[in-house]
Amino acid sequence: MFTRLSASTCRLFRRTNAYHISFGFFLIVLAVAGLGQPRFTSAFDRSPSKGAVAGEFPNQYLPQNLPDTRFAAFFPKTWTTYASNTGRNAVFNLNASAPAILRKGVSWSFAGAGAIPLDGPPLNNSIISTAYAVGMPVGVSVVGGIAYVGSDNGYTYALNAITGKLIWAHYGWNMTMSNPLVAGGRVYVSTGSAYFNYANTMLYVRGKRPVRGPGLNAMYALDAKTGKKIWVFHFPGEAMPTAAYENGFLYIGTGDGHIYKLNAVTGKPAWISDIVSFVSMSSPVLNEKYVFLGGTDPNFFYALDKKTGEVAWKISLPKLVATGMGDCTPAYADGVVVQEATVETGDPRNPVANVLLALNAATGRIIWQKQFAKGPTPPAMKTATPMIAEDKVFEGSPVTGEYFAFDLKTGRELWSVRLGAQIRAGAALAGGILYVPYKSGDIAAIRLRDGLHLGNKHVGGAFGPSSPVIVGGTLYVTNIYGWVLAIPVSEIPAPASMAPKATPSGE
């Protein structure tokens, strides 16, 4: 017997990502993602005594691929939040004493399990299906000469940042959509999926509170050198966002409507705060007093006291659509927290628009807000990651494909440039140039002072919310076709004569 979905059920599906599927199909996706694992040769946990499951999804350690310690010393020492810092500009300059290879930049690519060719079509001709099966959604964390990256195929990889060779792989039994955090010799990885299973959909129909994310949702603490598990903490709902680490504690929001503060040494909760809203991909940002992040159903942006977990303030906007406040990862600088959301426009042909908010971090008061041009509804994640640098906010529109620069304190638009395809990633600002990955598989180079589009580096595949990382002369970025890429920064801009000019503010 087939059951007709009610209007309220359909609203749940519309308010979240376009593809929310049953747990059974989710297991099939994981199985397909595992088909690529034979491209690795190695290591431990494959012996028959470990059993069939361990043989199918091996954890691996290849110590011969560890980086040379002479190189490792020039890389960041820790990675404690999404894109490394609260402004989300993950750029690390090197001085003249650094080896020439690091200053010039290295070039390599790594295909994760199940990756597909960058010059080919997506799986089932669907970017969303590809991203959820084999994609590497949010970028790398680069510490001590090692690039750590999570994949929707369930693996976390540690790669030699100079050569791209695999050092270890850890299988987490669910999608890994987070930046791995690195501190104190440990790597912290969160897992979860974007789906609602049938049981939770029916809870929603009956007016009860659903939990997002079937499967084994967890936070893992792994040995940074070997990838071996130190501890694991399981959540009732998905843990897709990147956590934030500070002073021995981890902060993360989940699909069960709670914010957790975990002891990073033991994995035990220090507090659990019930905000009801499920957190989709809003990775928290911290300041001296608060944890900031967005939640969905109900749609609010929250500030919680770091010591107690109590909600200090929350705000919302009218006519929020999709996952509302719960998808965007906020940025913070100089007392201002910046968040993007998506709202209805009332125009049937161009039904949505992105809205950028700058909030007083102490009170939640809106300092300024900008609604971008309206357009068609994006197929999946409908917000982009803001980046703050040099007293400016940089933000893309997933709806129109425009990229903007605003004054942080006043909201005055400084320039905009149309890239023409969905933008969900943050940027990296180095040497007066912004590097922006976007959906067409290109990385745009945009001049800071006037927004001049200097050109593109075409990589292929497609880029989702993958904020790039620059260390010395190398840009590291992930692709939703299942690849990690190291690209010399010098190779990215195309000839300036080929580039369109930016649109000055007010025109």
State whether residue 352 is helix, strand or coil.
Answer: strand
**Is a pLDDT exceeding 80 seen at residue 28?**
no
Residue 69 phi/psi, 5° resolution? -60, -25
For residue 263, tell me if it sits in a domain. yes
pLDDT tens-digit profile of 396-454? 999 999 999 999 999 999 999 999 888 999 999 999 999 999 999 999 999 999 999 99
State whether residue 134 is helix, strand or coil.
Answer: helix
Smallest Cα–Cα separation from 135: which of 197, 194, 54? 194
What average pLDDT is seen over the chain? 88
**Is a pLDDT exceeding 60 seen at residue 9?**
no
For residue 455, tell me if it sits in a domain. yes
**What is d(CA 456, CA 459) in angstroms, rounded to the nearest whole number?**
9
Whether residue 263 contacts residue 252, with contact meaning beta carbons closer than 8 Å, is answered with no
**Is a pLDDT exceeding 90 seen at residue 37?**
no
pTM for the complete prediction? Answer: 0.89
Whether residue 104 contacts residue 488, with contact meaning beta carbons closer than 8 Å, is answered with yes
**What is d(CA 242, CA 179) in angstroms, rounded to the nearest whole number?**
6
Band of the pLDDT at 503, cuts 50, 70, 90? low
pLDDT tens-digit profile of 158-168? 999 999 999 99
Smallest Cα–Cα separation from 474: which of 99, 182, 79? 99
Q: Tell me the average pLDDT across 79-101.
A: 96
For residue 201, tell me if it sits in a domain. yes
State whether residue 320 is helix, strand or coil.
Answer: strand
**What is d(CA 476, CA 478) in angstroms, rounded to the nearest whole number?**
7
- 314: domain range? 7-504
For residue 224, tell me if it sits in a domain. yes
Share of the chain above pLDDT 70, in %: 86
pLDDT tens-digit profile of 189-230? 999 998 888 888 888 888 888 899 998 999 999 999 999 999
Whole-number pLDDT of residue 423: 93
Whole-number pLDDT of residue 204: 81
Band of the pLDDT at 55, cuts 50, 70, 90? low
Whole-number pLDDT of residue 201: 84
In the block, residue with structure tokens 């299988």: 171
CA distances from 425 to 105, 356, 422, 440, 480 (A): 22, 15, 9, 12, 12
State whether residue 55 is helix, strand or coil.
Answer: helix
Whole-number pLDDT of residue 154: 94
Q: Which residues are within 8 A (CB) of 160 and not within 5 positions of it... i.e. 6 or more apart? A: 65, 66, 67, 145, 146, 147, 167
Number of folded domains that form the chain: 1
Q: Tell me the average pLDDT across 310-336.
A: 94
Alpha helices in 135-249 (DSSP H): 198-205
**Is a pLDDT exceeding 90 seen at residue 186?**
yes
For residue 1, tell me if it sits in a domain. no
**What is d(CA 168, CA 58) in angstroms, rounded to the nearest whole number?**
10
Whole-number pLDDT of residue 493: 86
pLDDT tens-digit profile of 380-412? 667 899 999 999 999 999 999 999 999 999 999
**What is d(CA 274, CA 198) in angstroms, rounded to the nearest whole number?**
23
CA distances from 231 to 219, 220, 263 (A): 8, 6, 11
Smallest Cα–Cα separation from 218: which of 234, 240, 242? 234
Domain CATH code at residue 282: 2.130.10.10
Q: Which amino acid is present at 80?
A: T
pLDDT tens-digit profile of 266-293? 999 999 999 999 999 999 999 999 999 9
For residue 303, tell me if it sits in a domain. yes
Whole-number pLDDT of residue 235: 98
For residue 223, tell me if it sits in a domain. yes
Whole-number pLDDT of residue 17: 41
Residue 39 phi/psi, 5° resolution? -65, -10
